[in-house]
Structure 1
Amino acid sequence: MKSNITINIVLLLLVVGLGSSCKKYLDVLPKGQKIPTTLADFEALVRDEYTNHRAPVTQSVLLLNDRWESQSNLNYYTLWKPNYMWDESANRVSLNNADESTYYTAYAAISTFNLILQYAPSATEATDADKSTLIAQAKLGRAMHYFILVNYYADTYEASNAASKLAVPLIESADINAPFKQVTIQEMYDYIIKNVTEAIPDLPVKGATIIHGTKGAAYAFLARVYLQMSDYDKALSYADQALAQNAQLFDYPAFYTSYKTQIEQAGVYPSLPSPRGYDYIENYIMMHGEVIYSKRDWPLRVDRAARFETGDAQLASRWKLRTVGADTYYYGITTGRYNEGGITTAEVYLIKAECLARKNDLAGAMTALNAVRVKRIFPASYVALTASSTQEAIGYIRRSKENETLFGIVAFGDLRRYNKDPLYARTYTKTENGVTVSLKPASPLYTMPFPLGAIKNPGNGTIQQNVNQ
């Protein structure tokens, strides 16, 4: 498959020398004959953020209408418009011939981590402990990318049918043209959990950087995985273990106060420093979204901004209502880097809150939720929430979590999970250019089609498309 054939060339070039021209090394280095040998070689691969720590999930973000998009972009990118406009009549399989970044970015990272797992045990200039840590971090990184793939290209997890529905190709080798199997959803989840649980004993409490896996990141990730499987006991257990490692929450009302004059100046759209970058106190592990370079926060649709709680300082600190010509949207007023694909403490608090609500511990659920809310809502608007039912509690938790996990795979995965339960299934409706459209809970749009490139060039295996169109 394309990811196995082309990505390994990239890895070889990275080992030889970052920053030099690809053509130069392709001319002098036979493919497949240079592999990393020292711990420093492997570390260079781990630190390649563009390849290994990026999680573009553009089509799911567009489908959820979590960001505003211009008409010109919708017209230019062929796959964008059907998802953004909830057009079930469009043949997304045939249209997915260019927007393949989710698939190939994930498999590029998986190829890197496979290479590390394959060769790091014999690394030179490294202690056994160094090698064990590197291997553990590779297992966690690989699992995180497989979680993105299975929640993007396959149906959502349901215990009743996960063993019979196909997921995505499972590739465990970095060798060019290595054989692979398209496993079931259950097999993929089992594999993800196995990788992370094996990794935990050798993961450090603190990583070399925020992109290096740690015990806290592994606990938090397992909490995410088990919640997606509706295993609330295990999700709660891992959430508590993650919070024991890091329970800090960022104070958005204080952030707003620091920049109040700039934010409130009429007609001015400042470029405030993004708090959600490498040093965000809520980070367990950092993973970029579509891009890794410094950028302005994605714009929000007006109807999406309306789903923030009244008095939400995060909304007020990150976006400002703007009209340009015929378009009105919430314009991003922070610039920098954003942990859109990684894991934060806010997500884990809200995982804990949902698990407690599912177990009918409503007081405990609201305590976990309010711990996040008090750091998000302006004091003048803040009132501690209480709930009289599990359904009411989850409604509150869900509102906060949707806002905390904007632009990443979690918001998409959560919605698909809720849509399987009639109590929580949601139909979205909007009117765009005079046309009213809806996105129903059972819409086939909730599963993304494999790219045509992967279907036509599967490499040493076969791939069965998971959607009809």
Structure 2
Amino acid sequence: MNRIIYFCITLACFLCSSCNDYLNIAPKGNKIPTTLADFEALLRDQYTISRTPVENALYLLNDVYLTNAKVNTPSLSQANYMWDESADRIMLNNADEGTYYVLYGAISSCNLIIANAPTATEATDAERKEVMAYAKVIRALCYDVLVNYYADTYDKATAAEKRSVPLIASADIDAPYTQVSIQEMYDFIIQDTKEAIEMGIPAQSMTAIHPNLGAAYALLARVYLQMQNYDEALRYANLALEQNNQLFDWNAFYEEHQAAIDDPDNYDKIVTPMQYDYVENYYLRYGVQSNFDSYEYNIPVERAERFEEGDARFLSRWKLKVDNNDTYYKALESGFFNHGGLTTCEAYLIKAECQARLAQNNDYAESMNTLNSVRITRIRPDKYQPATAATLEEALSLIRRTKDNELIFSIVPFADARRFNLEGTYASTLIKTYEGKEYSLSPTSHLWTMPFPAGALNNPGNGSIEQNVSK
């Protein structure tokens, strides 16, 4: 026994004396990031940092078709899809659902880049600032999605009092954090994005999955619109459009593929134009998947009816299908879809709404001209008529129809619906019929705020999280 004790003491002394030497040796088969290229590579890991899965917001809007079999199976998606206010969504969200973990995973990578880029080797100061700027915009966008998903919508009167989501800006493992107020989170998002602009985020980014200057401006326009600051939202939408104002010609795309699209028995996939070289991109960011062969969601028949007649973008993307007990519009396209990023189309539609909100003497001509700039590239020539509006309500209704359809599968229609619901004047109740029974979703329903997953509450790390909904 004495010899064993002596051996252990000797071994401990040896290990302690050699500790510093071992810390300076990289583990075999691993690379410790030191160069700027090492850290920038984190931005190219598309599956971990470039996804924005917001499925339950899409289910709540009924923008995604849920099969009859899944409707009849209790789940979080079923509770949202069927607008079941009696369901305990906190209990149903007992798994590690994607939205929270994917976005905080992306934030973690951004924190690591922002913390280490200033001292990274093999780079100039300008190159270091560029990579940091990319990370700041991505981090700000992730927080914008999180706060509009898990917290109540922005209300200037209560934003300083209501909780939002955990704000984690440190790259240190187990760093302390706070579940900040909604106002503090919006201030952080704006600050991060403006700092990226000051750092010199380039007008032409490294790749489509790196946000450019137009993306930073477009994100600020989105955030200020959510805050109902129409002057600032308009200013940044215009700045974004000065960087890029191109719109894709969906009429030409439809005509190119019309024979296959019009064939009622042909559901062969068409490669989507909404990927890396899409002319509308400021920043390409995926939704749920990042695989090339990923398909878009199928949509319900009632959702399809909300598209404008003759919408070439709709005609090119979905086709009616009857499959046993399910009838829906089946997705026709495959590829890399920019469902979570920032585009010129969104900037146009933010601009149109701000012009309508700020119009003098009920003159909505400028707002409608901006809206029509988008519509004329989408609506078939035999169906197209310039949109006009005599009242603010008419203008907002026309803009919102186009925006909800253009940005389907992104967080934007969900965030916009919450914003209009809060405003009250233009709030709307969602209505649908399922198996002969009518269902409705009130603009004041608690379902408009998503519950944190159980894993986040049970394992909060060096902080604490309080649930933002009762169920």
TM-score by length of 1: 0.92
Specify the SS of the correspondent of 2:289: coil
1:242-281 counterparts in 2 under 5 A? 242-281=240-279
Letter in 2 for 1:291: Q
* 1:70-124 deviation line (CA, Å, top 9, x unaligned): 1334456721110000000000001101252100001000000000111110000
1:460 is matched with: 462
**Mean Cα deviation higher: 213-222 or 423-432:** 423-432
1:312-323 counterparts in 2 under 5 A? 312-323=311-322
1:183 is matched with: 180
1:311 is matched with: 310
Asked whether the 8 Å contact 2:96–2:454 carries over to 1, the reply is no
1:208 is matched with: 206
1:369 aligns with 2:371: yes
1:137 aligns with 2:137: no
Letter in 2 for 1:162: A
TM-score by length of 2: 0.91
Letter in 1 for 2:463: G
Alpha-carbon distance between aligned partners in 2 of 1:368 and 1:317, rounded to the nearest angstrom? 23
* 1:33-78 deviation line (CA, Å, top 9, x unaligned): 9752101101211111111110000100000000111133445672
1:84-95 counterparts in 2 under 5 A? 84-95=81-92
1:349 is matched with: 348
* 1:313-362 deviation line (CA, Å, top 9, x unaligned): 11111111111112111111111111000011111100000000001251
2:49 is matched with: 52
Alpha-carbon distance between aligned partners in 2 of 1:215 and 1:77, rounded to the nearest angstrom? 44
Asked whether the 8 Å contact 1:79–1:99 carries over to 2, the reply is no
1:293 is matched with: 291
Specify the SS of the correspondent of 1:296: coil
Match of 1:41 among 38, 42, 59: 38
Give unpaired runs (5+ residues) of structure 2. 1-25
Letter in 2 for 1:302: V
1:232 is matched with: 230
Alpha-carbon distance between aligned partners in 2 of 1:79 and 1:130, rounded to the nearest angstrom? 44
Specify the SS of the correspondent of 1:417: helix
Once the two structures are aligned, what percentage of the paired residues are identical?
53
1:83 is matched with: 80
* 1:295-324 deviation line (CA, Å, top 9, x unaligned): 222111111011111111111111111111
Query: Measured at CA, do residues 355 and 253 of structure 1 come closer, stay the same or move farther in structure 2, by a change above 3 Å?
Result: same
Give unpaired runs (5+ residues) of structure 1. 1-27
Letter in 1 for 2:324: G
1:426 aligns with 2:428: yes
Deviation for aligned residue 1:268: 1.4
Alpha-carbon distance between aligned partners in 1 of 2:172 and 2:423, rounded to the nearest angstrom? 42
Asked whether the 8 Å contact 1:286–1:339 carries over to 2, the reply is yes
Alpha-carbon distance between aligned partners in 2 of 1:282 and 1:72, rounded to the nearest angstrom? 37
Match of 2:440 among 438, 441, 450: 438
Letter in 2 for 1:151: N
Letter in 1 for 2:144: F
1:376-455 counterparts in 2 under 5 A? 376-455=378-457
Asked whether the 8 Å contact 1:39–1:124 carries over to 2, the reply is yes
**Mean Cα deviation higher: 75-84 or 147-156:** 75-84
1:330 is matched with: 329
Alpha-carbon distance between aligned partners in 1 of 2:244 and 2:342, rounded to the nearest angstrom? 11
Alpha-carbon distance between aligned partners in 2 of 1:90 and 1:138, rounded to the nearest angstrom? 38
Deviation for aligned residue 1:435: 3.0
Letter in 1 for 2:258: K
Deviation for aligned residue 1:140: 0.7
Alpha-carbon distance between aligned partners in 2 of 1:338 and 1:372, rounded to the nearest angstrom? 19
Alpha-carbon distance between aligned partners in 2 of 1:249 and 1:135, rounded to the nearest angstrom? 29
* 1:140-163 deviation line (CA, Å, top 9, x unaligned): 110000001000000000111100
Paired residues, what number? 440
Asked whether the 8 Å contact 1:137–1:213 carries over to 2, the reply is yes
Letter in 2 for 1:340: H
Alpha-carbon distance between aligned partners in 2 of 1:286 and 1:57, rounded to the nearest angstrom? 16
Select the structure of larger CA radius of gyration.
2
Superposition RMSD in Å: 1.4
